[in-house]
Structure 1
Amino acid sequence: MDRYPLQVEARRDEPLSRGLWLIKWLLLIPHFVVLLVLWTGVVVLTLAAYLAVLFTGRYPASIRAYNLGVLRWSWRVGYYGYEVLGTDVYPPFTLADVPDYPARLRLDPPERIPRWLPLVAWLFAMPHLFILGALNGAASRSAGVGDAYWYAPLSITLTVVLIGAVALLFTGRYPRGLHDLLLGLARWGLRVAAYLMLLTPRYPPLRLDQGATEPDPVPDAPVAADPPVHPARPSAVGSVIALVVGVLMLAPGIGLGIGGGVLLGLDAARDGAGYVTSPELRVESSTAAITAENLTITDAGVWTRTAADVGGLRVSAISPTGRALFVGIAPQSAVDTWLTGTAHDELVGFTSGRARYERAPGPLRPATGPVDQSFWLAQSSGAGTATLQWAVTDGRYAVVIANLDGSPAVTADVTGAVQVPGLAGLGSGLLIAGVLLFLLAVALIILGGVGLGRRHSPPPLAGQPPTPSVPPVLTGS
């Protein structure tokens, strides 16, 4: 078999603590926090590397060193933690190779990457991603009673880890077969990750290589570990600060951009009177009324005092049969008193575009004439169509849709609309601010990641011949 460029190895520690695995999740929290930052950097830097390969044909050495370091750090954490549970030696906080740590990850010297590979690497990796997703619990099974549901991952890896942990707890021994199987699954995932990062153009083999060492022959010359960081190199503090600040700025930048886009979309959806209308929804009930209850409005005056074209609510109901309909809005307490003892359906949500209701108890009987009630703040009725408009005020309200005569069996196509001010200026400002913040965040992440990568990049060798071009292999043995 051809040796894969990424070497994933591990030393099985014995004996292992019977119960340490119960609290490893707590001990690993600092690593999880750091890896969250580092992997955010990996995403940004990998995209930058894709562009570099696509346009220049070169993979920046500093980005390669950074991505390899994060992959190496993640493997140590996974081997100590719940990916394998293979050692009790706490993983070090470093991107560098640690030769004496039980879990190691090494990579052959870089090969030339075809310029077209960034365009299709993700597509070529799909078979691996489907298989690994199934093995690691990308699917889930749900079960429940009524409105309560529980979801459990369907994960072979999780099951194997749990069996090994229980065996360790009660027998003090970790089954070697389970250890080798978990290491093979981890090796497969790391190879695919390295391929997607373009750390190697060699296509990962579609096979499960179990065991603590690579199954392929070891080369005559051992793969060299990362060179030690020389004390004269610049401090990593600046790079770490740039990376952390960039990651922290990334989410606000994306949020502002999305918010600005949403506001611009709302502004484009306004009609001439400033109303934004919802999609049409069919509501049906065998009872005498359909209600939307507990609509709480606060601080309405703040908006209506500062903008003239804001604060209106419009509800339209169209009968598909042409029957006369009634639409009204009133204080919640008044509607409760009116419909007490009469069955009606309360609108509680939507599922796949269909309305969901909760039935209020009571006999299936007509409601006392809706238009005869004096508590309506706004109402409308008509044959086939009824549309009400209301200037909102603070309070708790209910909207009622019924037949004009109060009889049971209500059917209507309903739309709601809210009057909002012009949002083009605010939306454009948020979008521009979000884009600028996002670009600054990306620049800081690249700056920090490249700086950290340079500290772990091997020095260039004098007189080294150019790296030969090696086409990617699309099938594994």
Structure 2
Amino acid sequence: MMSYPVTFTVTRPQKLDRVQLLVRVLLLAALSLAGVTAGFVMMLVYLALPAMASALVYQKGSVRFLAEDGPRLTRALAWLEAAFAYLFLLTDRLPLDRPAETARLDVDPTGAPTAKGALLRLFTSLPSVIVLALLFCVAYLAWLVSAVSILFTERVPAGVYDFQCGVLRWQARLFAYHASLVDQYPPFAFDPGPMDGTPRDHASTFA
């Protein structure tokens, strides 16, 4: 995997529970009826992160923003990624307590963000957002394959599991950049797989 100051890892379970599959089907159905879809969440996060980062940087400056608000923003993003991992059928564990034990987000904050630069990321991140939207379209089909596989075998095919992990890794990098936690533009590189392992020693871990 190419070097980037944001890493997202998922611990792959040996088996996935059929009852938990039913729970997620019902949960997704309820959320859809309420108008809360993956697209809605993506749009909300897309608009909120730069606005929030811009206001905080303007108020505190880049150093205090990364030191004080960076950990809070990263914890929120870590919970969001863990929730997506649960809904994507990558784990049976709800992100209610210690989500990092199942799906872990690590950020090594870089750069000196500005209030204006934070808002500009609404536009500069568009190419990555478009690719992510296309990946999500494929992820919906992969979800159906995963659901059928869990129903019959209590497992997800390795290729499908790796693809879903890669989609969430792309999303995690994009969100961290969008929140002005890192300066480097998220790479247009699809890194699949759970990528289990110990995070880098030098990284600042806020999960």
User: TM-score by structure 1 length?
Assistant: 0.36
1:200 has 2:202 as partner? no
Q: Percent identity?
A: 28
**Matched residue type, 1:117:** G
1:135 has 2:135 as partner? yes
Distance 1:204 1:214 in 2: 21
Distance 2:69 2:199 in 1: 27
Residue 23 (structure 1) shift: 1.5
Query: Any conservation in 1 of the 2:8–2:104 contact (CA below 8 Å)?
Result: yes
Distance 1:22 1:78 in 2: 16
**Matched residue type, 2:79:** W
Question: What is the 5 A alignment of 1:235-246?
Answer: none
Query: Any conservation in 2 of the 1:7–1:214 contact (CA below 8 Å)?
Result: no
2:91 aligns to what?
87
Distance 2:48 2:119 in 1: 16
1:125 has 2:131 as partner? no
1:264 aligns to what?
none
1:237 aligns to what?
none
Change (3 A) 1:189 1:98: closer
Question: What is the 5 A alignment of 1:59-138?
Answer: 60=65, 61-81=67-87, 83=88, 85-93=89-97, 98-99=99-100, 101-113=101-113, 116-136=116-136
Query: Any conservation in 1 of the 2:11–2:103 contact (CA below 8 Å)?
Result: yes
Query: Any conservation in 1 of the 2:54–2:116 contact (CA below 8 Å)?
Result: no
**Matched residue type, 2:163:** L
Query: Any conservation in 1 of the 2:58–2:115 contact (CA below 8 Å)?
Result: yes
Distance 2:180 2:109 in 1: 13
1:50 aligns to what?
54
1:7 has 2:7 as partner? yes
Query: Any conservation in 1 of the 2:109–2:182 contact (CA below 8 Å)?
Result: no
2:203 aligns to what?
223
**Matched residue type, 2:149:** A
Flag structure 2 segments of 5+ consecutive residues without an equivalent.
none
Q: How many residues align?
A: 197
1:31-54 Cα deviation digits (max 9, x unpaired)? x99xx9xx9799657424214435
Aligned to 2:18, the other structure's residue is in SS state: coil
Flag structure 1 segments of 5+ consecutive residues without an equivalent.
137-154, 227-455, 457-477
Residue 25 (structure 1) shift: 4.7
State the structure with bigger RCO (CA 8 A, min sep 6), 1 or 2.
Answer: 2
Aligned to 1:9, the other structure's residue is in SS state: strand
1:139 aligns to what?
none
**Matched residue type, 2:95:** P
1:164 has 2:170 as partner? no
Counterpart selection for 1:210 from 192, 199, 204: 192
Aligned to 1:104, the other structure's residue is in SS state: strand
Change (3 A) 1:103 1:218: closer
Counterpart selection for 1:186 from 160, 163, 168: 168
1:284-343 Cα deviation digits (max 9, x unpaired)? xxxxxxxxxxxxxxxxxxxxxxxxxxxxxxxxxxxxxxxxxxxxxxxxxxxxxxxxxxxx
Query: Any conservation in 1 of the 2:110–2:183 contact (CA below 8 Å)?
Result: no
**Matched residue type, 1:126:** L
Question: What is the 5 A alignment of 1:420-439?
Answer: none
User: TM-score by structure 2 length?
Assistant: 0.77
Residue 72 (structure 1) shift: 0.7
Residue 78 (structure 1) shift: 1.2
Distance 2:191 2:85 in 1: 16
Aligned to 1:201, the other structure's residue is in SS state: coil
Query: Any conservation in 2 of the 1:8–1:214 contact (CA below 8 Å)?
Result: no
Aligned to 1:13, the other structure's residue is in SS state: coil
